[in-house]
Structure 1
Amino acid sequence: MKKRRRKQKFDKQMQKKLLGVFAFVLLVLVILNLRIAYINIKSGDKYAKQVLSQKEYDSRSIPYRRGEIRDRNGNVLARSEKVYTVILDCKAVNEKEAYLEPTVKALAASFGLDETELRSLITAEATRNSQYQILKKKVTQEEKDAYETSISTSGEDLTEKEIAERQNVQGIWFEENYVREYPMKSLASTVVGFSNDLSDGIVGLESYYTDVLNGVNGREFGYLNEDSELQRTVIEPENGYSLVSTLDVNIQQIVEKYIKQLDEELSDGPNQELNGHGAKNIAVIVMNPKTGEIYAMATNHSYDLSDPYDVSSWYEEKDLETLTDEEKAEVYNDLWSNFCVSYAFEPGSTFKPITVSSAIETGSIDPDDTFYCDGYEFITDTRINCDNVNGHGMETVREAIQNSCNDALMQIGYQLGVEKFCKYQRLFNFGSRTGIDLPNENIGSLYSTENMHEVELATNTFGQGFTCTMIQEAAAFCAVVNGGYYYQPHMVKQILNDQGGVVKTNDPILLRQPISASTSKVLQEALEMGVLYGTGRKAWVPGYRVGGKTGTAEKINPENGQRWQGRYIVSFIGAAPINDPEVMIYSVVDEPNVDDQTQGGYPHVMSRKILMEILPYLNIPVTEEYTDEELADHGITREEAEAGRITETETPETDEDGNVIQSADSQVADNPNISNPPAEKTEEEQQEGVPDNAGITREDLGEE
């Protein structure tokens, strides 16, 4: 008889044991997951970098390239070049003793690093397990390629020992980035500006268009699929857009050459505070009066865009050491600011053409009217002198401009009246931003119809008692001489994508026509008389019809608000050919470093020298005869007058793109008893009711 097998019961004791084992396993899994989560949060990036360097399971950012800034002919003013940062994974090197020496020698040979310091870094207790040590920044593509070639095991007749040594180079990898370069160093520095290492524009076009120049970083992801195969997903970066500016490098170089020449010529003057400079500010704008395009804009405060914190040309090192951080910031801002758009001053007699054109346009005077100058006018109980205290006698309207007669201008202003005068100041865009695409544009300060009285009207007619910027005066003068059309000045012609396609074209913007063509014609004639026979004779350019106006304005002492004895801003503004203007030039010298700042005609002569070079360069032919006596009277040799000149029958030499190939009087101040300008507006008040000046974004662009 078979024995029956006894059934084993799954009793409660066994259930408890099984539950205990299950709970223990579950607890271990929870602890393990928590530990993994902790490691991922605390050290995930560190381990990821190790994986990237050794296993190529990437998840890395791919930086975009910031767009270029070019001149109108394609010359590069700012660009971004790819560079690399050398990273060392010390832990990877320490995995085998055989890795140490080959890795150290490879780094030393390729990147010029010190072998002793490398060994110390790799083996030191504090860093031996580090997986992210930065060894060198801004390594070029050529240096990186040379390193990779030096450790390659293919394509060469290598011994087994050499191959083994190269294979033992471990733990070295690269992060890519871009650095901003400025190939032309200080050229057009106050216009181009610069950006920091984070691709934030600080000043100039780099600041105004920073969002347009910037792009979006890409991303590369690496992972293992279900079959343990390495897969990659790459999201390419969106590179920034490039700017084609209105600047012409050749014209900019000519302008900066003569600014530097004047700065050096007057550097030994009596004002030692200028630290060897010829004036507090020397500035020039050259623009196309028919489009508002700026060909050149420069000051004597240029600086190396690759080293913008070098202020040694204006400040001694010992002086800088005594400054607080706040004072140093002010020093840098002074150097980086653009005098042409950010500094408001009284324009002086360069404003007279605006007054006269406004009076003719409104019918307040007739172009053939005459005015008698006896050397002064009594306005209420205030005597305001003309620059010629003996009087100019009877003058026509044109002669009043030619002679820069304050007396006649005050009479014209009286007939124009406060209401119309203020209206036309606004029509010519004084008291408002021009809208130029540069940051920190100042709007100046004007009287209104409510606070302008007889004395203020009288002095405002000849450009004192209110303030404006160079770009405001330049744009208004262009409207006076170009047929009456006010164009918005601008610095950028086109915006391109990274393939060279046009994203946006900035066509000339005609804002208004404050005066008629017939009024403009009268002013053209008057301004030409001023250069041929009047105060602007030193700006005469042989062979060309040039018209222009001089200006001299006594400054105000900011400490007491009174007129500053002996401190002047002298200027010249002109156009050529005046009967059909192609070029406008505005030159300003702020406190020339000489004993008598009203004498010398410095801006007039500088303007003439600049025009003598840029007019032939722009293919503008000679139309006027001139004699040796006229040349001698202006201190010009015939060789200088004819250098690079073309006549209407000559064809200039051009490149394949059609671009012309370039071969390499004292004035009395407008300073009678005059009222001061209104108080400067606060930043908030300057923003009120005027276009935004903070720059544009990509959203502002419309794809073409």
Structure 2
Amino acid sequence: MRKKSTRKIRVYLPFILIFAGFGIIEFRLFQLQIIEHEKYRSFVQQEQIRVISISPERGVIYDRNLKPVAVNVNSFSIYASPVRVSNPEAIAGRLASILGKEDKNFVLSSLKKDKIFVWIARKISIEDKEKIEKLKLEGLGFIEEKKRFYPERELMSHVLGWVGIDNQGLAGVEYYYEKELQGKKGKILLKRDALGHFIPFSQTILEKVIPGKKLVLTIDSKIQSIVEQEISLALSVTGAKSAEAIFMNPSTGEILALVNKPDYDPNHWWDYSSYERRNRAIQFIYEPGSTFKVITSAALLEEGLISPEDRIYCNPYLRFGDHTITDWKEFDRWMNFTEIIYNSSDVGIIKAAQRMKKDTFYKYIINFGFGKKTGIDLPGEAKGLVKSPGKWYLTDFPCISIGQGIGVTPLQMVVALSAAINGGNLLRPFVVKSILSSRGQIIQERHPYLIRKVISEKTSRILRDILAYVVREGTGKKSEIKGYPVGGKTGTAQIPSPDGKGYIQGKYIASFMGFAPVGNPKIAGIVVIKEPAGVYWGGEVAAPVFGRILSRILPLLGVLPEKELWVKR
């Protein structure tokens, strides 16, 4: 009986095991297909589908004559699916031989990640892409992207700025107008086959890419190029540490050229020092020296405290407490106010300034825009350093009247000069003339913006005449241009010691700011040369540079030479 029962078990056992196996399989299928269906469907979709964010084409930037100065060019970004890479060490080595040996560790760590998508290198050249394609490496792919390119290299680099790897603005107008230039990102869906390869032509647009808006600058590439050439030459000749220059339309506030030397190539901005990349024309704070006498003169003339013919005795020196102020050369004679300015007499201008109350003088300093940002559409502008009268010591009033003990930027000086000679209108400077749609239609156009009226037309006219004498008869003679009446003012300033005690011995800043033509100014500008070796006087170092620049710029502006009727005062 027991033998028969054992025989039955042996006969039915295989069938029982088979049915049990089918039962387990059925249960597992039920679990996978019904209970865990959504989980695995999502997993499969993640393996087969990838959503990629696509950056929009950044808006092109043009100069005022619609010459492209910041454009987009084709480039390729390489990605990998690490889960499909069997030998990351070998692939990393082969990629590094093309991308650069220093990239090997980054590539290797990326290939070892437990991900289905990683970036390997962004925006590589077409040549490098073709080299990598020939290697036929597993798990790699390419996505075409746009790369920012600056065709003029260093030209107007401090105006343009630069962008990061994702085309985000990091400096200059690229940063200031990021919202307008960037556009809106799009999204595409890519599908993979059973082997994990992206299926060609399987892209599905999820969100449409919206291109960025375009910018038209006030900068004129031809004028910018001239200024850069002359400033570079000046650095070479003088052996100076650096130089800045700004030229603008004094009647509108449009910046025609803005130059810093040394400069940088925004295509490779990371190869340059922070000093070279710094927009010193709007950030460098310095004591202006005698160029500030234009502001002191404007205040005196507007208040009716002096006239061009008023005579003042210019002593060999003035003493304020234990502080002695002398002239750059000993005059020791009577001079009228015009002579005081064109001879740049510190003693004369200080004695004239003493006719003002210090609060009155301070009012004009502030009204001309010092101690505040001008509001230019560029990032990082400095506001300068201006002490209120309540904090002035005995020597501050006389020193400030000759451009010492006050901190300004080159931009503030040329904006103030423009107000002094354009009829008294302080204008906001700007570098973007208009904003265009991606199709080139004008969306927004910038117009002159009056901040405030600082002096009368009459005072402005008198100032123009006095500053014309500076060039014709005085310290600014080396800025003179045949056939063009030029006005301006020289400046030679010491550099304050970092510890706040006195000045650095033997270190100077030479500058010249001016305008032309005198009767109806079409351009105003400033040249600032920091720490020239050897001769350091503004009239000797900066004035000739200014003159050469204007002699080349004025014909481009359509200003014809004229015959001057000159009557000496």
- Cα shift readout 1:219-274 (whole Å, capped 9, x = no counterpart): 34589xxxxxx9955532111112111111001111111111122223xxxxxxxx
Distance in 2 (alpha carbons) for counterparts of 1:171 and 1:554: 63
Distance in 2 (alpha carbons) for counterparts of 1:417 and 1:291: 32
Deviation of 1:71 (Å): 0.8
Quick one: structure 1 residues 233 and 212, their matched pair in 2 at CA, closer, same or farther if it must change by over 3 Å? Answer: closer
Distance in 1 (alpha carbons) for counterparts of 2:397 and 2:84: 81
Output the amino acid matched with 1:449.
P
Quick one: structure 1 residues 90 and 191, their matched pair in 2 at CA, closer, same or farther if it must change by over 3 Å? Answer: closer
**Superposition TM-score, scaled by structure 1 size:** 0.67
Matched, 1:372 2:307: no
Among 263, 272, 281, the alignment partner of 1:340 is: 281
Matched, 1:84 2:76: yes
Quick one: structure 1 residues 93 and 429, their matched pair in 2 at CA, closer, same or farther if it must change by over 3 Å? Answer: closer
Among 207, 214, 225, the alignment partner of 1:253 is: 225
Distance in 2 (alpha carbons) for counterparts of 1:221 and 1:24: 32
Match of 1:32 in 2: 36
Match of 1:617 in 2: 556
Match of 2:369 in 1: 429
Match of 2:57 in 1: 65
- Cα shift readout 1:513-533 (whole Å, capped 9, x = no counterpart): 100010011111110001001
1:276-295 correspondence runs (5 A) = 278-295=239-256
Matched, 1:265 2:206: no
Match of 2:5 in 1: none
Match of 2:455 in 1: 515
User: Residue 279 of structure 1 aligns to a residue in which SS?
Assistant: coil
Matched, 1:556 2:496: yes
User: Residue 397 of structure 2 aligns to a residue in which SS?
Assistant: helix
Distance in 1 (alpha carbons) for counterparts of 2:347 and 2:121: 70
Deviation of 1:559 (Å): 3.8
User: Residue 283 of structure 1 aligns to a residue in which SS?
Assistant: strand
Match of 2:381 in 1: 441
Match of 1:165 in 2: none
Deviation of 1:60 (Å): 3.8
Matched, 1:481 2:421: yes
Match of 2:215 in 1: 243
Output the amino acid matched with 2:287.
E
Match of 1:204 in 2: 172
Match of 1:674 in 2: none
Deviation of 1:382 (Å): 3.6
User: Residue 296 of structure 2 aligns to a residue in which SS?
Assistant: helix
Deviation of 1:147 (Å): 12
Q: Is the 8 A contact 1:460 1:466 kept in 2?
A: yes
Match of 1:216 in 2: 184
Q: Is the 8 A contact 1:63 1:176 kept in 2?
A: no
Structure number having the greater strand percentage:
2
Output the amino acid matched with 2:57.
R
Output the amino acid matched with 1:219.
K
Quick one: structure 1 residues 20 and 334, their matched pair in 2 at CA, closer, same or farther if it must change by over 3 Å? Answer: closer
Q: What is the root-mean-square deviation in Å for CA atoms of aligned residues?
A: 3.5
Distance in 2 (alpha carbons) for counterparts of 1:174 and 1:132: 12
User: Residue 573 of structure 1 aligns to a residue in which SS?
Assistant: strand
Distance in 1 (alpha carbons) for counterparts of 2:122 and 2:205: 27
Match of 1:648 in 2: none
User: Residue 542 of structure 2 aligns to a residue in which SS?
Assistant: helix
Quick one: structure 1 residues 303 and 63, their matched pair in 2 at CA, closer, same or farther if it must change by over 3 Å? Answer: same
User: Residue 415 of structure 1 aligns to a residue in which SS?
Assistant: coil
Output the amino acid matched with 1:443.
K
Output the amino acid matched with 1:32.
E
Output the amino acid matched with 2:156.
A
Output the amino acid matched with 2:265.
D
1:686-701 correspondence runs (5 A) = none
Deviation of 1:340 (Å): 0.7
5+ residue gaps, structure 2:
1-22, 100-110, 192-201
Among 527, 544, 547, the alignment partner of 1:605 is: 544
Match of 1:183 in 2: 151
1:559-638 correspondence runs (5 A) = 559=499, 561-594=501-534, 596-598=535-537, 601-624=540-563
Match of 1:467 in 2: 407
Distance in 2 (alpha carbons) for counterparts of 1:130 and 1:436: 46
Q: Is the 8 A contact 1:444 1:468 kept in 2?
A: yes
5+ residue gaps, structure 1:
1-18, 50-58, 95-103, 115-125, 151-167, 224-229, 267-277, 312-331, 627-704
- Cα shift readout 1:389-415 (whole Å, capped 9, x = no counterpart): 242x22222111111111121122111
**Superposition TM-score, scaled by structure 2 size:** 0.82
Match of 1:415 in 2: 355
Deviation of 1:449 (Å): 1.9
Distance in 2 (alpha carbons) for counterparts of 1:613 and 1:217: 44
- Cα shift readout 1:177-210 (whole Å, capped 9, x = no counterpart): 2211111111111221111102222221112222
Distance in 1 (alpha carbons) for counterparts of 2:60 and 2:307: 52
User: Residue 597 of structure 1 aligns to a residue in which SS?
Assistant: coil
Distance in 2 (alpha carbons) for counterparts of 1:564 and 1:231: 65
Matched, 1:350 2:342: no
Distance in 1 (alpha carbons) for counterparts of 2:24 and 2:269: 71
Quick one: structure 1 residues 139 and 333, their matched pair in 2 at CA, closer, same or farther if it must change by over 3 Å? Answer: closer
Distance in 2 (alpha carbons) for counterparts of 1:66 and 1:523: 46
Q: Is the 8 A contact 1:62 1:236 kept in 2?
A: no
Deviation of 1:80 (Å): 2.0
Distance in 2 (alpha carbons) for counterparts of 1:93 and 1:441: 50
User: Residue 307 of structure 1 aligns to a residue in which SS?
Assistant: helix
- Cα shift readout 1:592-650 (whole Å, capped 9, x = no counterpart): 022x4338711111111111111111110000379xxxxxxxxxxxxxxxxxxxxxxxx
Count of matched residue positions in the alignment of Structure 1 and Structure 2: 512
Quick one: structure 1 residues 593 and 426, their matched pair in 2 at CA, closer, same or farther if it must change by over 3 Å? Answer: same
Distance in 2 (alpha carbons) for counterparts of 1:251 and 1:501: 26
Match of 1:675 in 2: none
Q: Which moved more, 1:62-71 or 1:374-383?
A: 374-383
Matched, 1:529 2:469: yes
Match of 1:652 in 2: none
Q: Which moved more, 1:24-33 or 1:520-529?
A: 24-33
Distance in 1 (alpha carbons) for counterparts of 2:366 and 2:121: 57
Distance in 1 (alpha carbons) for counterparts of 2:539 and 2:341: 20
